[in-house]
Amino acid sequence: MHLSPLRILGFLFIALTLASCANRGTPTGGEKDILPPKITASHPENFSTNFKGDEITIQFNEYVQIKNLQKQLIVSPPMDNAPVVTPASGASKTITIKIKDTLDPNTTYAFNFGESIVDYNEGNPYPYYRYVFSTGNTIDSLSVKGYVEDALKQEPETFISVMLYEVDSTYNDSIVYKEKPRYITNTLDSLTSFSIDNIKAGTYKLIALKDENSNYLFNQKTDKIGFKEDYITVPSDSTYGIKLFKEAVNNKAIKPTQDAASRIIFPYEGDYEAIRIKVLGETPEGYKTRIIKDKETDTLYYWYQPQFEVDSTFFIVNSGTKIDTFKHRFRDLKQDSLNIKALVQGPVNFQDDLTIEANTPLSKIDSTKISVINRDSIQVAYKVVYDSIYNNYRFPIEKEENEIYSFTLLPGTFTDFYNETNKDTINYAIKTKSISDYGNIRVNLRNAKLPMIVQLINDNGDVLYERYAKEKPIVDFRNLTPRTYKLRAIFDSNANGKYDTGNYLLGIQPERVSYPKEKLDDVRANFDFVIEFELLD
């Protein structure tokens, strides 16, 4: 059959249209790129010697970008003036390092980029790229290796700076506060081990810092620190373990301010128990004071009466290590009125007590104006416990399950520092649940070195319950609210009943802390758990 040219063109058009329709849809785009970028050249070459310039370029086979450079990039030895790395944003096939510092002679430098270099399209990182050069004839090739643990927490911190200070004629222990280290590396965000590479033979002090300010200097207020007690010698085949801890802050008094007619705020750092406050000079006749600690912050409230008739006075604050003198100018402010509130009420655990606090210092309680009855209106015996530091009264009672206890506090029950009393009757109630609503845990401590502090904590490390094992390696936690707990034990080496952290300058390591190998099962209601806690030597 003979087809005309016109019909042939028509058939071709239809075929092309059908083919086009058949190809419509979402393209697959091929397999996802999972390969990291590749370096094609660097100028000068990596591991060059006799480096004289101030600029380094690194070229890649595809567009790359730099992420989290401030955290990831570690320059060893650290430079006083940080190098400028481009591109700071966007993408390029070339990374440029502009050196802004004067380089030391005969020194090996290393730029550790971590995983900050990623390809532009998929974000695949170039893993732990290091650029190394020497201003001398040789590249230093020795290493120091180890790992970092947290002294108190089960999980270690991330981005820990591990540093070496050269022990020479200028070295002293306080160098960590004032000077940058000779060599440095970083554990980054997924590692607990470290390797400080390209160092020369010598004697060093090994330090680890959770460096919150990223300045390679130890700040006691913000940073955690860890250290090896003895100097280390390089070369060495040893693997060094470092425990990171938060030092107790040195005692320090801070300038006071006034926030009520007869109340002055004294902020402080360190241990409040060591602080002593007194007036320098004359005080009004019959002058009295009370000091109360804030529950949340490092603050002491200094209450006084009567008021001063002068505009200002001087306070001497002895923090235990230093004596400061502060000039204080009095302000004409409103006087606080007595206000009572309960800290615990409603449903309570069996170890919880009704606790009442006031906004002004309490000075006296009239227990004849207090009554406690149960749901059957039977009188219940109670005790009165006063905490003068936190300004609260606690009322322990013998509790039974599924019971309601009603507290009635008549007018005049409480008298404060300014002789003001509560004018109204105050009523509070607490309720107990059934014992079967709670769970119990017995912990058998294996290989225990008594005394030990045993704690149940939450995921944040907050202590929820604590027991002290002094004579027997067994502790019981009773009437626990059902939930998830973590268990830890503290070796109380000085037997003072509390966890003691370390101190770098004194060369003191923190007390040892141990966690169980196995995760605890969730505490369930009406269930008794027995845990065999194997403590490692």
10 Å CB burial of residue 337 (0-12, 13-18, 19+) is exposed
Contacts of 23 (CB under 8 A, 6+ apart): none
Q: Can you give the pLDDT at residue 25?
A: 45
Per-residue pLDDT tens digits for 445-500: 999 999 999 999 999 999 999 999 999 999 999 999 999 999 999 999 999 999 99
Q: Can you give the pLDDT at residue 192?
A: 86
CA distance 307 to 309: 6
Tally the residues of the chain: 537
CA distance 446 to 423: 57
Per-residue pLDDT tens digits for 410-421: 999 999 999 999
pLDDT at 66 over 60: yes
Which among 470, 513, 510, 462 has a CA at the least distance from the CA of 486?
A: 462
The lowest-confidence range among 1-5, 123-127, 315-319 is 1-5
Per-residue pLDDT tens digits for 26-44: 444 556 667 889 999 999 9
Q: Can you give the pLDDT at residue 273?
A: 93
Q: Can you give the pLDDT at residue 514?
A: 96
- In this structure, which CATH number among 1.10.1030.10, 3.40.50.970, 2.60.40.10, 3.60.15.10 belongs to the domain 438-534? 2.60.40.10
Residue 524 CB: number of other CB atoms within 10 A? 13
Q: Can you give the pLDDT at residue 155?
A: 86
pLDDT band, residue 71 (cuts 50/70/90): confident
pLDDT at 189 over 90: no
3-state secondary structure of 16: helix
* Whole-prediction pTM: 0.83
Q: Can you give the pLDDT at residue 4?
A: 52
Q: Can you give the pLDDT at residue 238?
A: 95
CA distance 174 to 528: 52
Q: Can you give the pLDDT at residue 275?
A: 95
Contacts of 323 (CB under 8 A, 6+ apart): 316, 317
3-state secondary structure of 18: helix
Q: Can you give the pLDDT at residue 158?
A: 86
pLDDT at 262 over 70: yes
Q: pLDDT > 70: what percent of the chain?
A: 93
What are the two backbone dihedrals, phi and then psi, of residue 52, each rounded to the nearest 5 degrees?
Answer: -125, -15
Which among 382, 378, 422 has a CA at the least distance from the CA of 398?
A: 382
Ranges of each domain in the chain: 39-134, 142-244, 252-329, 340-433, 438-534
pLDDT at 14 over 80: no
- In this structure, which CATH number among 1.10.150, 2.40.160, 2.40.50, 2.60.40 belongs to the domain 252-329? 2.60.40
pLDDT band, residue 537 (cuts 50/70/90): low
Q: What is the DSSP letter of 9?
A: H
pLDDT band, residue 24 (cuts 50/70/90): very low
Per-residue pLDDT tens digits for 388-409: 999 999 999 999 999 999 999 9
What are the two backbone dihedrals, phi and then psi, of residue 178, each rounded to the nearest 5 degrees?
Answer: -125, -25
Q: Can you give the pLDDT at residue 115?
A: 86
Q: Can you give the pLDDT at residue 30?
A: 52
Q: Can you give the pLDDT at residue 7?
A: 54
Over residues 226-243, the mean pLDDT reads 96
pLDDT band, residue 263 (cuts 50/70/90): very high
Measure CA of the first residue to CA of the last residue in the chain; give whole Å: 98
pLDDT band, residue 213 (cuts 50/70/90): confident
Beta-bridge partners for 341: 357
Which among 222, 145, 226 has a CA at the least distance from the CA of 185?
A: 145
One DSSP character per residue, 231-254 reads -EEES---EEEEEEBPPPPPPEE-
pLDDT at 18 over 50: no
Contacts of 244 (CB under 8 A, 6+ apart): 148, 149, 150, 151, 156, 157, 160, 208, 210, 224, 225, 226
Residues 499 and 511: beta-carbon distance below 8 Å: yes
Same fold for the pair 252-329 and 438-534:
yes
CA distance 522 to 480: 11
Q: Can you give the pLDDT at residue 22?
A: 45
Q: What topology does CATH give the domain 340-433?
A: Immunoglobulin-like (2.60.40)
Q: What is the largest CA-CA distance in the chain?
A: 131
Q: Can you give the pLDDT at residue 234?
A: 96
Residues 265 and 304: beta-carbon distance below 8 Å: no
Per-residue pLDDT tens digits for 107-146: 999 999 988 999 998 889 998 899 999 999 999 999 999 9
pLDDT at 207 over 80: yes
pLDDT at 341 over 50: yes
3-state secondary structure of 181: coil
Provide the sign of the torsion angle of the four alpha carbons 236, 186, 170, 227, taken in this order. Answer: negative
pLDDT band, residue 190 (cuts 50/70/90): low
Q: Can you give the pLDDT at residue 302?
A: 98
Q: Can you give the pLDDT at residue 156?
A: 84
CATH number at 39-134: 2.60.40.1220
The residue ranking higher by pLDDT, 537 or 384, is 384
H/E stretch holding 13: helix 5-22
10 Å CB burial of residue 95 (0-12, 13-18, 19+) is buried
The residue ranking higher by pLDDT, 537 or 432, is 432
pLDDT at 385 over 70: yes
Q: Can you give the pLDDT at residue 359?
A: 95
User: Is domain 142-244 annotated with CATH 3.40.50?
Assistant: no
Give me the amino acid identity at 10. Answer: G
